[in-house]
Chains A and B, each alone.
Chain A
Amino acid sequence: MTKLSDIAKTIRSKNAGTDKITFDVIFPDAAAYERVKGSGVMTRESMAALYRIDPARITDFVAFDPALAIKFTVLRERPSGSPGDGDIFGAQQYAPLLELDVP
């Protein structure tokens, strides 16, 4: 089984303002991009399940052809930097995507 980290060029997460974290998965070529885009492995529902959150917390889910990228954005549980937040920049939230199985 292929892992997402085997075929994506970039897998990252970062704050989008104070209340959201945005995830970018960028592919090196159209073949890899279309393969994942068409596989159904990355959808609003599957990402909500992976991150154990209510799908309503995913505010945006976009396939962005010019950048060969799939992008989604999640409302934070609490604003960035509130006490108890373990990731002020939202920079390490992408890790579970690395191991995603791609058919």
Chain B
Amino acid sequence: MSRSMKMICPNGHLGFAPTREGSFALGVETNPDIIAADSGSDDVGPVPLGSDTSTSPLAWQTHDLELMLLASRARGVPMIIGSAGDTGSNSRVDLYVRIIRELAAKHRLKPFKVGWFHSEIDRDWLRAKMRRGDAVTGLDARPDLDDAELDATDRIVALAGVHPYIRLLDMGADVIIGGRSSDAALFAAPAIRAGYPEALSYYLGKVLECASFCAEPYGGKETVLGEITDTEVRVTAMHPDQRCTVASVAGHAMYERSNPFYEYVAGGCLDMSECRYEQIGPKTTRVTGPKFVPSDRIRVKLEGSGKIGERFVGLVGIRDPYTIANVDRVIGWAREKARERFGNADYELHYNVYVRDGIMGASDPDRDRPAHELCVMVQGIAPTAEMAEEVCMTGTRQMFYARLPDVKGTAGSVAFALDEVMRASPAYRWTLNHTVGIDDPLEVFPCRVEQVG
């Protein structure tokens, strides 16, 4: 029997919904060498990164960290968290480190070392690179970054590869809290550090990062076990009713990825096009054949979010079939009233017409067949909260006064369940989805280790 390393992953996005404890306990009983989970995603939209908040409740984050910390300390094996607190910003890393310290005190844990790294990128550092002719290259059809778009950005994180994780393990960290990272990297790092092939190590990370999403039947937040040897990766579902099958494991390779064959990380590309999948047990699938193609120069991916303005939201109902058929004219009327009031001032009005095309917009093939009642969500955005409220109120209430030529109901064109507009999170947008070259893979990921207890 050749050597192997075992890792369990209890949650594909730690904190976003609570880890299921039953299958986690079964995972811990397998004597894993590493307990690891990713805690972030750009799925949650640009608001958390821009406003430097978490979308996950503190109680759920603490619950999951507590489960993993107690298991890690009881077994004496490293615990690794990536992309802390949804965004992996510096404040989220510091928050998780603080939670770890508080949990250690609460449970009177024996002294251990906590290590962390930050991932935020300073705008001036990036601007200086651009001045030196280092292009910040756009992904997914975006143009290269220019000064205007950089100026419009409030916060930038870089996605770390394996490098800061390996460094922190070298520094003796027992618990690692990572800033923004490629999901696969935090699992790949301990395997690569132990000398396992890079291709299999990154594949292990790729398959484990979403926990039970690589198992069937569907059911999130359950623990999976990954085991790497010098020649293969084996992945096993821990929940009694879940299995890792050829279809579920291969199917997971394409989840949330534009292409099922290639996964880019800082330092290279995982090529899964010749992976072979075999069922080797009722709950276990074996994978062989991934390749890793190192890049000439390390390019890190950057995510950036910029504030558009303060935001209020209004909700409008429509029941008259004639008004439903003419809802765009009703919206046009309200937009015109806002134009009359605010002119060319810096504001935005957005309308989502639910039960027509509120979810898909112009892509909806059924948008010509609206239902018998509609709900319209109105968003008003402006530089100040006061103005955003008035923009939203204008865009909402003026729908009530819309003048349609043949309408029978002349006492009000729409229905309000709430005659008010509500303050929402400020509006942000993704300003950066780019890459930039770096010379030292640790250059933008400063690492620290401190004793706890």
Q: In the bound complex, do residue B363 and residue A51 qualify as a contact, i.e. CB atoms below 8 Å apart?
A: yes
Q: How far is the CA of A84 from the CA of B260 in the complex (A)?
A: 30
When the two chains form the complex, which single residue of A14, A17, A81, A82 contacts B139, counting CB atoms closer than 8 Å?
Answer: A17
Q: How far is the CA of A14 from the CA of B42 in the complex (A)?
A: 12
Of the candidate stretches B220-228, B352-360, B398-406, the one touching chain A is B352-360
Of A16, A52, A64, A81, the most chain B CB neighbours within 10 A belong to A81
B47 sits at the interface (CB 8 A): yes
Q: In the bound complex, do residue B43 and residue A88 qualify as a contact, i.e. CB atoms below 8 Å apart?
A: yes
Interface flags, B340-383, vs A, CB<8A=1, else 0: 00000000101110000011111111100000000000010100
Contacts of B236 in A (CB 8 A): none
Interface flags, A13-52, vs B, CB<8A=1, else 0: 0111111101010100000000000000000000000111
Return the chain B residue nearest A29 by Cβ: B247
Q: How far is the CA of A47 from the CA of B275 in the complex (A)?
A: 28
With A17-B140, A88-B44 as given contacts, are A96 and B365 in contact (CB-CB < 8 Å)?
yes
Q: How far is the CA of A18 from the CA of B306 in the complex (A)?
A: 14
Q: In the bound complex, do residue A77 and residue B427 qualify as a contact, i.e. CB atoms below 8 Å apart?
A: no
Contacts of A17 in B (CB 8 A): 42, 139-140, 258, 433
Q: In the bound complex, do residue B45 and residue A80 qualify as a contact, i.e. CB atoms below 8 Å apart?
A: yes
Return the chain A residue nearest B257 by Cβ: A16
Interface flags, A44-80, vs B, CB<8A=1, else 0: 0000001111000001101010111101010101111
Q: How far is the CA of A14 from the CA of B256 in the complex (A)?
A: 6
B253 sits at the interface (CB 8 A): yes
Contacts of B358 in A (CB 8 A): 86
Q: In the bound complex, do residue B251 and residue A67 qualify as a contact, i.e. CB atoms below 8 Å apart?
A: yes
With A19-B430, A68-B247, A79-B46 as given contacts, are A87 and B362 in contact (CB-CB < 8 Å)?
no
Contacts of B277 in A (CB 8 A): 66
With A82-B46, A83-B427 as given contacts, are A96 and B259 in contact (CB-CB < 8 Å)?
no
Chain B interface SS verdict (over half):
mixed
Q: In the bound complex, do residue B363 and residue A18 qualify as a contact, i.e. CB atoms below 8 Å apart?
A: no
Q: In the bound complex, do residue B258 and residue A20 qualify as a contact, i.e. CB atoms below 8 Å apart?
A: yes
Contacts of A59 in B (CB 8 A): 140-141, 258
A side interface size, CB within 8 A? 43
Contacts of B255 in A (CB 8 A): 14, 24
With A52-B362, A62-B259, A67-B250 as given contacts, are A19 and B275 in contact (CB-CB < 8 Å)?
no
Q: How far is the CA of A83 from the CA of B362 in the complex (A)?
A: 15
Return the chain A residue nearest B363 by Cβ: A51
B71 sits at the interface (CB 8 A): no
Return the chain A residue nearest B141 by Cβ: A75
Of B139, B277, B358, B365, the most chain A CB neighbours within 10 A belong to B365
Q: In the bound complex, do residue A62 and residue B45 qualify as a contact, i.e. CB atoms below 8 Å apart?
A: no
Interface flags, B426-453, vs A, CB<8A=1, else 0: 0111100100000000000000000000
Q: In the bound complex, do residue B430 and residue A82 qualify as a contact, i.e. CB atoms below 8 Å apart?
A: yes
With A17-B139, A64-B254, A66-B275 as given contacts, are A81 and B47 in contact (CB-CB < 8 Å)?
yes
Q: In the bound complex, do residue B42 and residue A18 qualify as a contact, i.e. CB atoms below 8 Å apart?
A: yes
Contacting A at CB under 8 A, from B16-75, are 42-47
A5 sits at the interface (CB 8 A): no
With A19-B430, A75-B141 as given contacts, are A84 and B251 in contact (CB-CB < 8 Å)?
no
The 5 A-B residue pairs with the shortest CB-CB distance, nearest first, are A81-B45, A84-B350, A73-B258, A67-B250, A79-B430
**Interchain Cβ contacts under 8 Å between A and B, 13 examples:** A14-B255, A14-B256, A15-B42, A16-B256, A19-B140, A59-B140, A64-B254, A69-B250, A73-B258, A75-B140, A75-B141, A79-B429, A84-B350
Given contacts A19-B430, A20-B140, 10 further A-B contacts (CB under 8 A): A15-B42, A26-B247, A52-B365, A64-B254, A75-B140, A81-B430, A83-B348, A85-B45, A86-B361, A93-B363
Contact residues of B with A, CB < 8 Å? 42-47, 139-142, 246-247, 250-251, 253-261, 275, 277, 303, 308, 311, 348, 350-352, 358-366, 379, 381, 427-430, 433
